[in-house]
Amino acid sequence: MDEVKRGNAVSRFFRVLGKDLREIGQTFVQGDWKTKISFLVMGFGQLCRGQIVRGLAMLAMEVGLLYFTFGFGWQYLSKLLTLGTVETHKEGRVTVYGDNSFFILLYGILAVVAILALIYLWRVNLRQNREAEGLLARGKRLPSNRSDLASLLDKNFDKTLLALPVLGIFIFTVVPIIFMICIAFTNYDVTHQPPSKLFSWVGLENFKTLFGIGGEGFGGTFFYVLGWTLIWAFFATFLTYFLGMAVAILINKKEIKYKKLWRTILVMTIAVPQFVSLLYVGKMFAADGLVNAYLLKWGWIKTAIPFWTNATYARILIIVINLWIGIPYTMLIVTGLLMNIPAELYESARIDGANAFQTFRKITLPYMLFVTGPFLLTQFIGNLNNFNVIFLLNQGNPKSLQLSKNAGATDLLVTWLYKMTINDSNYKIAAVIGIMVFLVTAIISLVVYNTMPSVKDEEGFQ
Amino acid sequence: MKRKKRITNTICYVVLILMSIIWLFPFVGLVLQSFRGESGGMVAYLVPKEWSLKNYQYLFGGDGKFLKWYGNTLTIALFVSLLQTLVVICVSYALSRMRFRGRKALMNIWLVLGMFPGFLTMICLYFLLKTLGLTEAGAVPGLILISVASSGMGYYVCKGYFDTIPKALDEAAIIDGATRAQILYKMVIPMSKPIIIYTALVAFMAPWCDYIFASYVAFGYERGYNVAVAMTRWVWTNDYQGFFTRFCAGGILVAIPVTILFMCLQKYYVEGVTGGAVKG
Amino acid sequence: MKKILALLLALVMVFALCACGQQAAPAPADKPAEAAPAPADKPAEAAPAAAAGTLKIWVAEAIVDFTKDQVAKFVEAHPEYAGYEVTVEPVGEGDAASNMLTDVEAGADIFGFPQDQLARLVAADALIELSEENAALVAAENDAGSVAAATMAGTVYAFPLTSDNGYFMYYDKSVISDPSNLEAIIADCEKAGKSFYFDLRSGWYQPAFFFGAGCTLTYDTDDAGAFTKCNIDYASENGVGAMKALIALAKSPAFVNGSSVSNATNAAAIIDGTWDADAAKEMFGENYACAKLPTVKINGVDTQLGGFGGFKLLGVKPQTDEAKLAFCDDLAAYLASGEVQLARYNVVFWGPSNIAAKADPAVQADEALSALGQQLAFTVPQGQYPGEYWSLAEALGDDIIGGKYNDADDAALLAALQTFQDTCIGYAG
């Protein structure tokens, strides 16, 4: 079924493209001279017909994009296929830098994006011309400059609102992501570092290295780290969730006084920046830290507990410390939601003689699970990439000879790839792992999302 | 019956008190350490043998570096908080109230983009910022730009909240001749105080903990550091022997404004997370 | 179809960005073109007074003010360089190296770094070789080990700054009765409920045991800084002996992994370097004492622990401008000269590498430096190691500390060391 769908999508794409090309042809053949000139000078037709605002906008964008692409981008774009050939060399002791593969790739991508934007604008420009001609031919008036501008605050308000955010995301999120995906297909690492060394395209080489196809590879380590990442995300999400719910219900009990005080105490962990609290907590559990010292002093233990050096202890401790961070957060959310559950439900349950546990199981839990489904999913995905907790507590250690590439027993995929970029400048492999992280996240989200009752019934709880 | 109830209540209180101790313990430790007078390194006891303000004096006195870092962070936090809230409101309003071509696609693409690990793009962003001249001495505006530029993707919670405002109100306003823009700032914004405060609060808190990208962007230029970059050095590098108590003192100073703000606005925070996060 | 107007807004932003980009971006591409004719047009000596620009120095926090003073002194004595604006930033030596690797062009012109980073920096072209005069001067005035540390494949790449980057033992006289023997030290620590600190998981400290037992681990490099060969014999009887000693140490309740005085909460003895001397003095108070590393029983024989002797270096990054290169050369040479090394010792107690400065009575009388001097006889000058080696050593250390080999027999230990050795060899070539 998917196959059919995809086939449809492809054929639809070509149908639309074909229709578009035909329309462009018709625009040229049937259009007047103003429209024809607009094929080259964008906005010309609009200007001639008095739509000054649109015309100027089009013209300015064309000039700007062309200037960007050819004035600035071309020097990079032209080398995109090789990523540079001019080597750095020395004249005497003075260094003369050659091509910089990094900038070629980065600005090359920007230039490609600019060209795509130009093509799109060009198409819009033609459509405007055609429409304007059509309107005039039917004896109608064109929208005035004033109404064009006014529509930006009303009918087209969405464009006004979204323009800057979309542009920002494009330049500072989309382009870097495209860049990093490209890096996965190059040999950019410590021995190929710009500006003095060039890097180049290597195809699927890095993926083969990761999975050990035709070489030793370190696929074993990858799956080990992936395994722990999933275990961690599972426990970090669900333990926090259920314990947080328990705490919320506890504080919410009618008989408990000073509700606000208890909540405020717990909520401190959200307010204090993690780099302060987690670094301190991490040090507390050091072999010679506060916890061990007091346990020894009180005679509860004979030798220090190796909290951070024993892989199993370290993993358990990290999950436990994460409870310290996560419980307050869940507690807040659940507290808010508990108030939404109709009191009559509880009342009737009480009359039926249900005990506290039964009411929880039959009323509270199902409601919570239904309502917090999407929240749990975002929490889970957030935990897959929970850099701070791992890195601030023990940097993914302990390592082991059984693991390659600097990985440790508590490393998540994200902390592992961070180490690769920072310690080893191994950008190519980090990029490959980044793509894997993306795939894992995407697959999990997709599967969970599609089986979630609250998503299937989106309007249900509005 | 009554006795049983009293016992359960006592158990509840005991649990709560125990939890409070565990939750507060690290903060009490931080405060006590920050007032420690004897050597500045790590120690394995809680209560200082000698009380002193010298750690705070160091931070406030001398070359004023700490104040500079603190100022940087505060500047970043304020600007990010303001601009990010603005961006998020704009995006959420457009996605929640307006129907336009490509709306679903846009939301899906953003969802997918969010699944790429951000660390990968750090080096790329660094060079983009460098091209714009916004690294080293320009680190503060650079960090603001990066935080704000991508903030549109964080529309999730806010849009969820806007969705709960009845559409009928919009329609009535349109019949009365209001433009979309007027609906936004005359009607939706005043009705969304909790979520706006929530967004601003979350945005304000994030820059205080940015110790990785900020250190990339400042690239060794000390006056461009934020507190997190400067203070993690005290713990992680060997150049700063005996800075642990200073770290604790600095940590307290960092925690104070954020905590106070958080405590004051806690009500809105709860409304925000429950109103928006859960609905989505 | 008025979305265009909205797009206008978007595009205006693009242009704003591009316009900014225009000014800064072509710099890397254009610079060489501008710089290239310079040497042809005017020899550096011809118009030195016209030279101006900025120069950035990265050094450890402790010597920032000292370096600023010295730079001011130097510029005063050399007015031809007065046009340069020199900034000194505190960037720790490890950070300096990784920053230089991230972005050489934005990095410092002169920067201090530990010698183990030399190969990486050379491989990334973040260091320029010294001029012939400076290289000859460095070789003549500094101790042999430090010169070797700054040299790769016959080329001198940096100025030796200190010759004290080795380790020895600080201890508490009131607890440790016999500092010459590890078993006795551990026994004293256990009795007193105190700890012995040794950074078992660091690739720098860990070889103290292996080298002491007679093992070797060195790498050969080619001119470009690439590793060509690994000379290692850890997977041997000696290696297994050293490993057993490490395991025995890690098992002791008195053992704590660590090498930073200010992170140690309960130390009676710590293996550490001169940079922690002040902190150690403060911690041990009147019981402060230093000694060379102790002996340990390896395969039944009392063996002196060995290890690395290390050095701090000062490097200059490749320059595209002849005049600035000359300034960098002269300034770095000055900052690493014997006179400045001695002055630096007097401020922060960094042990000089300069032979004349070393002979100074104040340096001679330094307790920590003399312990280091005694240890020097048992150490090998630290050569070049690939970056991966340091994390591999951490992996071995973590396995030992984590108790993975506590019940292992000799064959299992040998197998583990074989893995270690093979991985080390894998990093070369």
Residue B162 has pLDDT above 70, yes or no: yes
Distance CA C286, CA C278 (A): 13
Give per-residue pLDDT as tens, C22-61. 443 333 333 333 333 334 344 444 444 457 889 999 999 8
What CATH code would you report for C44-164+311-367? 3.40.190.10
Helix (H) or strand (E) holding A89: strand A89-91
Angstrom distance (rounded) from CA A304 to CA A292: 6
In percent, how much of chain C has pLDDT > 70? 88
Q: Which two tokens mark C342? A: 């001695």
Q: Which of A354-358, A448-452, C164-168 has the highest mean pLDDT?
A: C164-168
| pLDDT of res. C142 | 92
| pLDDT computed for residue C13 by the predictor | 47
The answer to whether A445 touches A385, Cβ cutoff 8 Å, is no
State the pLDDT at residue A318.
Answer: 95
Q: Give A-chain residues touching B167 at CB under 8 angstroms.
A: none
Strand partners, A399: A408
Residue C233: the pLDDT is: 93
In the 8-state DSSP scheme, what is residue C105?
Answer: T
Instruction: Provide the chain B residues 16-45 that lie in CB contact (below 8 A) with chain A.
Output: 16, 19-20, 22-24, 26-27, 29-30, 42, 44-45
Please name the amino acid found at residue C137.
L
- Is the confidence at residue B37, as pLDDT, over 80? yes
- Chain A with chain B: Cβ pairs closer than 8 A: 256
**Strands, E assignment, A331-400:** none
Q: Which residues of A touch C23 (CB under 8 A)?
A: none
CB atoms within 10 A of CB B10: 10
One fold for C44-164+311-367 and C168-308+385-426: yes
Q: Which pLDDT band holds residue A244 (cuts at 50, 70, 90)?
A: very high
Work out the percent of chain A whose per-residue pLDDT is above 90.
35
CA distances to A451, A452, B67, B167, B277 from A456, rounded to whole Å, are 8, 7, 52, 22, 18
pLDDT number for residue C47: 44
**Tokens linked to C200:** 């078992």
Q: What count of residues does chain A have?
A: 462
* Tokens 């659940």 sit on residue: A334
For residue A62, count other CB atoms closer than 10 A to its CB.
20
Predicted confidence (pLDDT) at residue C1 exceeds the cutoff of 50: no
Q: What gap in Å lies between CA B81 and CA B79, rounded to an integer?
A: 5
Give the pLDDT confidence score for residue A215 in this predicted structure. 52
- Which CATH number applies to A219-461? 1.10.3720.10
Taking CB atoms and an 8 Å limit, are B121 and A180 in contact across chains?
A: yes
pLDDT at C41: 41
Interface of B with C (CB under 8 A): 39-44, 123, 126-127, 130-133, 135-136, 216, 219-222, 233, 237-244
Residues 6+ apart with CB under 8 A from A421: A427, A430, B119, B120, B122, B123
pLDDT at A437 over 50: yes
Q: Each residue of A192-230: pLDDT tens digit?
A: 888 888 999 999 988 888 877 545 567 788 889 999 999
Angle at the Cα of C106 from the Cα atoms of C100 and C108, rounded to 5 degrees: 60
Residues facing residue C55 across a β-bridge:
C86
CB contact under 8 Å between B132 and C96, yes or no, is no
Sketch the domain layout of chain B as residue ranges. 1-26, 68-277
Best residue in C55, C66, C262 for a mutation probing chain B (most B CBs within 10 Å):
C262
**Which ipTM was obtained for this model?**
0.91
Number of inter-chain CB pairs under 8 A, A vs C: 214
Which has the closest alpha carbon to B198: B44, B90, B81? B81
Contact: B113, A173; criterion CB under 8 Å: yes
Cβ distance B39 to C283 less than 8 Å, yes or no, reads yes
pLDDT recorded at residue C332: 95
Q: Which of A120, A8, A182 is nearest to B102 (CA)?
A: A120
Tens-digit pLDDT profile for residues A251-304: 988 888 888 899 889 988 888 889 999 999 999 999 888 999 999 989 898 888
Long-range CB pairs of A41-48, under 8 A, 24+ apart, other chains included: A42/A121, A42/A122, A42/A125, A43/A125, A45/A128, A45/A129, A45/A132, A46/A125, A46/A128, A46/A129, A46/A132
C279 contacts: CB under 8 Å, gap ≥ 6: B39, B41, B241, B242, C261, C262
Q: Do C6 and A162 touch (CB under 8 A)?
A: yes
**B242 vs B42: CA distance, rounded Å:** 8
Which chains does C contact via 3+ CB–CB distances below 8 A?
A, B
- pLDDT band at residue C416 under the 50/70/90 scheme: very high
- Taking the C-alpha atoms of residue A87 and residue A96, their distance in angstroms, rounded to an integer, is 9
Q: Look up residue A403 and give its two tokens.
A: 């693991």
Which two three-digit tokens encode residue C353? 């590498």
- C34 alpha-carbon distance from chain centroid: 35
What does the pLDDT look like over A78-106, one tens digit per residue? Answer: 999 999 889 888 888 888 999 999 999 99
Closest CA to C400 of C381, C413, C411: C413
> Is residue C327 predicted with pLDDT exceeding 90?
yes
> Which DSSP helix (H) or strand (E) runs through C302?
strand C301-304
Q: Give residue B211's region: left, alpha or beta (phi > 0; psi -120 to 50).
A: alpha
CATH topology of domain B68-277: MetI-like fold (1.10.3720)
The kind and range of the H/E element at A325 are helix A311-338
- Angle, alpha carbons B170-B176-B182 (nearest 5°): 60
pLDDT class for A7, splitting at 50, 70, 90?
low
What span, in angstroms and rounded, lies between the C-alpha atoms of C280 and A197?
Answer: 44
**Helix (H, G, I), strand (E, B), or coil: what is residue A155?**
coil
DSSP output for A199-249: --B-TTHHHHHHHTTTS---HHHHHHHHHHHHHHHHHHHHHHHHHHHHHHH
Q: For residue B214, which residues of chain C lie inside 8 Å, CB to CB?
A: none
User: C1 and A128 in contact (C-beta within 8 Å)?
Assistant: yes
Q: In the CATH scheme, what architecture does the domain C168-308+385-426 have?
A: 3-Layer(aba) Sandwich (3.40)
Among B212-216, B272-276, C130-134, C362-366, which stretch is predicted with the lowest mean pLDDT?
B272-276
Residue C108 has pLDDT above 50, yes or no: yes
d(CA C214, CA C242): 9
Cα–Cα distance between B279 and C234 in angstroms, integer? 60
Q: Within 13 Å of residue A282, how many CA atoms lie on the same side as its CB? A: 23
CA-nearest residue to B106 within chain A is A166
Give the pLDDT mean for B16-45. Answer: 90
CB contact under 8 A, A287 and C256: yes
pLDDT (0 to 100) of residue C390: 87
Map tokens 């060489």 to a residue.
C32
Per-residue pLDDT, C24: 39
- Longest CA–CA span in chain C (Å) reads 89
Distances from the Cα of C38 to the Cα of B193, C44, C83, angstroms: 63, 9, 18
- Dihedral (C-alpha) B210, B214, B216, B220: value to the nearest 10 degrees? -120
Is-contact B278 A373, C-beta < 8 A?
no
The two tokens of residue C372 are: 């280091």
Sequence-ordered list of residues with C-beta below 8 angstroms from that of C8, at least 6 positions apart, any chain: A57, A60, A61
pLDDT tens digits, B40-82 = 788 888 899 999 999 999 999 867 889 999 999 999 999 999 9
Q: Decide: B209 and A274 in contact? Cβ < 8 Å.
A: yes
The two three-digit tokens of residue B72, written as one number: 């940087």
Among A353-362, A401-410, C328-337, which stretch is predicted with the lowest mean pLDDT? Answer: A353-362
> Residue C48: what pLDDT?
45
The Cα of B273 is separated from the nearest Cα of chain A by a number of Å equal to 6
For residue C99, what are its two tokens? 């920053």
For residue B94, which residues of chain A lie inside 8 Å, CB to CB? 157-158, 161-162
Q: What is the rounded CA–CA span in Å between residue B160 and residue A371?
A: 13
Cβ distance C396 to A401 under 8 Å?
yes
Query: What does the pLDDT average to over A30-54?
Result: 88
Which carries the bigger pLDDT value, residue A343 or residue A114? A114
Query: How many Cα atoms are found within 13 Å in the side-chain-facing hemisphere of A239?
Result: 17
| pLDDT exceeds 80 at position A5 | no
E-strand stretches of C71-150: 84-90, 110-114
CA C18, C20, C26 angle in degrees (round to 5)? 80
Percent of chain A with pLDDT over 70: 95
What is the reported pLDDT for A119?
93
Three-state SS at C228? strand
Does B95 score more than 70 pLDDT? Answer: yes
Q: Is the pLDDT of residue C14 over 70?
A: no
**Residue the block writes with tokens 């019940």:** C407
| Predicted local distance difference test score (pLDDT) of residue C191 | 92
Instruction: Quick: pLDDT tens for C217-273.
Output: 999 888 777 889 999 999 999 999 999 999 999 999 999 999 888 888 889 999 998
Query: What tens digit of pLDDT does each residue of B201-237 get?
Result: 989 999 999 998 999 899 989 899 999 999 999 988 8
In terms of DSSP bridges, do strands C217-221 and C53-59 run parallel, antiparallel, or are they unpaired? unpaired
**Cβ(B254)–Cβ(B232) under 8 Å?**
no
Residue whose token pair is 């408990």: A256
pLDDT band at B38 (very low <50, low <70, confident <90, very high): confident
pLDDT tens for each residue of A358-367: 888 888 888 8
Across the range B76-102, mean pLDDT stands at: 93
For residue range C274-325, list pLDDT tens digits in order.
888 888 988 898 999 999 999 999 998 999 999 888 889 999 999 999 999 9
pLDDT in tens, C359-389: 899 888 888 888 888 888 888 878 888 888 9
Mean pLDDT of all residues in C198-212: 92
Check CB contact of B184 with chain A, cutoff 8 Å. yes
| pLDDT value at residue A139 | 86
Confidence of residue A76 (pLDDT cuts 50, 70, 90): very high
Residue partners of B145: CB distance under 8 A and separation at least 6: A172, B129, B132, B134
- Domain ranges in chain C? 44-164+311-367, 168-308+385-426
Summary count for chain A: helices (H), strands (E): 22, 2
| Residue pair B39/B227 in contact by the 8 Å Cβ criterion | no
**Confidence band for B278, pLDDT divided at 50, 70 and 90:** low
Give the pLDDT score at A91: 86
pLDDT in tens, A122-176: 999 998 888 888 888 888 888 888 888 888 888 889 888 999 999 999 999 999 9
Contact yes or no for A267 and B262 at CB 8 A: yes
In this prediction, residues A38-64 reach a mean pLDDT of 90
